[in-house]
A and B are shown apart, each in its own frame.
Chain A
């Protein structure tokens, strides 16, 4: 079992619709969760972080966390063509004394006009 599982996609969503990206992780000790966005040929950039069970909203983005189910998701409302990118889920291991995070392989999202 991979440490972080994401559907590789591509996930095709019409412009204006809600895009739903899902991620499961195997390390029950994970406490912090991050979503990074990576445009083709560019470096990853942080778009959301979540630490507690429930929802966290930031603009058009909502991160959802369920530690019991070891599941984290990212919802993008009113999807725009500029949202087309690969989204990387990244849990952080709580027992690490430092800050090592493990990246999933990413879900490629395509917003069609």
Chain B
């Protein structure tokens, strides 16, 4: 398996622009997580899905952030409008609820810079 795939790997945008981050989880995994990592705040859980349904979005910073999972193999995290404080590395991770597996597999991340 190719692992969790994220695109783009790097994104530089100007304040006020819309940003869309994409994630393809590992095939067969029924949980998908979006994290944000910064030096100041560490690794924060933004939202997670189970079987394509959002379960907990309490970590989403504000209404500028939205996430969707239209099917089992694709999810997006959108920021509109973007602000400089959104600059961070955004990770997507997936996990199977199958017995014997507790590991979350992380994608390579998207480094977002908002100028």
Chain A residues proximal to chain B, CB less than 8 Å? 32, 34, 42-46, 49, 88, 98-106
Contacts and interface: CB of A to CB of B under 8 A. Distances in A.
A102 B44 CA distance: 8
Contact of B48 (A42, A43, A88, A98): A98
Contact of B104 (A42, A101, A102, A105): A101
Given A34-B102, A43-B108, A100 B56 contact: yes
Output the residue of A34, A42, A98, A106 with the most chain B CB within 10 A: A98
Contacts of B56: 98, 100
Interface of B: 31, 35, 42-45, 48, 50, 55-56, 91, 95, 97, 102-104, 106-109
Contacts of B48: 98, 100
Contact of A103 (B43, B95, B102, B107): B43
A99 B34 CA distance: 13
Contacts, number: 45
Contacts of A32: 102
B12 to A, nearest CB: 17
9 contacts: A43-B91, A43-B108, A43-B109, A44-B91, A44-B106, A49-B103, A88-B43, A101-B45, A105-B42
